[in-house]
């Protein structure tokens, strides 16, 4: 008989500001917009989608859709979500050729 397993949910382990920051840093380092969007969605679920909806002025349904792996949120939505999660996007110079 095969062992019983359950699906891993990253939102369940993102329980400290440091864990959330490290998770988002890794996502942003990927440079993949859909991966970043999905990571923001995972963090949003960890923090509470209802609270995030209230803080951003967006509906829960709109947030779930925009922050899914298939979502393509407007930049203003990304900024609202990041701000509500306690983060700010800022430019960072990278080495030439990187």
Query: Does 91 reside within a domain?
Result: no
Query: Does 65 reside within a domain?
Result: yes
Query: Does 21 reside within a domain?
Result: yes
26-51, pLDDT tens digit by residue? 999 998 999 999 999 999 999 999 99
44-80, pLDDT tens digit by residue? 999 999 999 999 999 999 999 999 888 899 999 999 9
35, burial (CB in 10 Å: exposed 0-12, middle 13-18, buried 19+):
middle
Query: Does 45 reside within a domain?
Result: yes
Are 40 and 78 within 8 A, CB to CB? yes
Q: Which residue segment(s) compose the domain that 76 sits in?
A: 16-84
**pTM of the full structure:** 0.83
- Torsion over CA: 22, 10, 53, 78 (sign): positive
Name every residue whose Cβ is closer than 8 Å to that of residue 21 and which is 6 or more positions away in sequence.
Answer: 87
Query: Does 60 reside within a domain?
Result: yes
């Amino acid at each position: 008989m095969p062992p019983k397993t359950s699906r891993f949910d990253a939102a369940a382990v993102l329980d400290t500001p440091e864990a959330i920051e490290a998770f988002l840093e890794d996502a942003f380092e990927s440079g993949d917009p859909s991966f970043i969007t999905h990571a923001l969605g995972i963090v949003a679920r960890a923090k509470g989608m209802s609270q995030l909806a209230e803080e951003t002025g967006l509906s829960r349904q709109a947030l779930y859709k925009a922050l899914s792996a298939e979502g393509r949120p407007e930049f203003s939505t990304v900024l609202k979500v990041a701000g509500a999660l306690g983060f700010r996007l800022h430019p960072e110079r990278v080495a030439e050729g990187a």
